């Protein structure tokens, strides 16, 4: 009787393990299809690869978006590439910040410069095995335009905090923009 129960338990355990594998694989496929649909629904068919700091980092943004690198005096923002999509009402930047401070300290300093409408959220996410902080808030400029802001902060190495920010006119903002933002953040890689 005991042998029979052990065989039965083994079969049930194997079936459960098989179902878990199927669920994990399905989730990955579903997630990738959702990203593809979000991109296609916003007329994004191609992504262009950008290199930062002599090929140290690479990332992708939609090909049709305008992008322009900027230089700043001093040694705090050592890389900045501003991008925008007039059609979608999105603009933002990819920055490498040279600082011995932690991500939490950088966020706290920058939080003082945000003019938010009381909906500030700072959540933790893990993307590509990198722990990130996702800051989200809305604000208005000159009391006229309302914006939804989403900023990802993470550290790739000592003294380099990466900041990828997105700002969208609230009138044009769509829920699936978050998926587009995540596709861009997921594309960020350290080359060397």
Q: What is the pLDDT of residues 146-183, one digit of tens each?
A: 889 999 999 988 889 999 999 998 888 888 788 889 88
Residues of the chain with pLDDT > 70, as a percent, come to 80
Question: Of 160, 165, 191, which is closest to residue 78 (Cα–Cα)?
Answer: 160
DSSP state of 60: E
What six digits make up the tokens of 152?
A: 């990802």
Residue 63: CB atoms within 10 A of its CB come to 12
Summarize the chain as % helix, strand, coil (round to 5).
30, 40, 30
27 has a pLDDT exceeding 60: no
The per-residue pLDDT for range 53-68, each reduced to its tens digit, is 988 999 988 888 899 9
Question: Of 56, 85, 98, which is closest to residue 188 (Cα–Cα)?
Answer: 56
Lowest mean pLDDT among 6-15, 103-112, 131-140: 6-15
Task: Determine the Cα–Cα distance for residues 6 and 9; give it in Å rounded to an integer.
Answer: 5
- pLDDT category, 30, cuts 50, 70, 90? very low
The per-residue pLDDT for range 73-83, each reduced to its tens digit, is 989 999 999 99
Question: Of 179, 140, 182, 164, which is closest to residue 91 (Cα–Cα)?
Answer: 164
pTM confidence score:
0.78
The pLDDT of 87-97, averaged and rounded, is: 92
Task: Determine the Cα–Cα distance for residues 14 and 181; give it in Å rounded to an integer.
Answer: 39
Task: Determine the Cα–Cα distance for residues 148 and 121; give it in Å rounded to an integer.
Answer: 12
43 has a pLDDT exceeding 60: no
Q: Please report, for residues 39, 83, 101, 124, the alpha-carbon distance to residue 135 in angstroms, rounded to integers and kept in the order given.
A: 22, 19, 17, 9
Task: Determine the Cα–Cα distance for residues 71 and 63; give it in Å rounded to an integer.
Answer: 22
**Contact by Cβ (8 Å): 152, 186:** no
């Amino acid at each position: 009787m005991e042998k029979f129960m052990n065989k039965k338990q083994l079969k049930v355990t194997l079936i459960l393990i098989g179902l878990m594998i199927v669920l994990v694989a399905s989730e990955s496929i579903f997630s990738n299809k959702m990203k593809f649909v979000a991109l296609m629904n916003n007329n994004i068919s191609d992504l262009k690869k950008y290199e930062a700091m002599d090929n140290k980092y690479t990332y992708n943004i939609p090909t049709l978006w305008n992008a322009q690198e900027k230089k700043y005096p001093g040694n705090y923002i050592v890389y900045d590439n501003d991008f925008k999509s007039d059609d979608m009402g999105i603009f933002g930047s990819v920055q490498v910040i040279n600082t011995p401070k932690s991500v939490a300290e950088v966020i706290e300093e920058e939080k003082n410069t945000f003019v938010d409408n009381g909906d500030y959220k700072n959540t933790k996410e893990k993307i590509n095995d990198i722990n990130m902080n996702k800051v989200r808030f809305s604000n208005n400029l000159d009391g006229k335009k309302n914006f939804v802001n989403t900023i990802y902060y993470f550290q790739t190495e000592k003294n380099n905090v990466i900041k990828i920010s997105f700002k969208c006119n609230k009138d044009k903002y769509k829920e699936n923009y978050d998926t587009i933002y995540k596709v861009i953040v997921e594309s960020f890689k350290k080359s060397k």
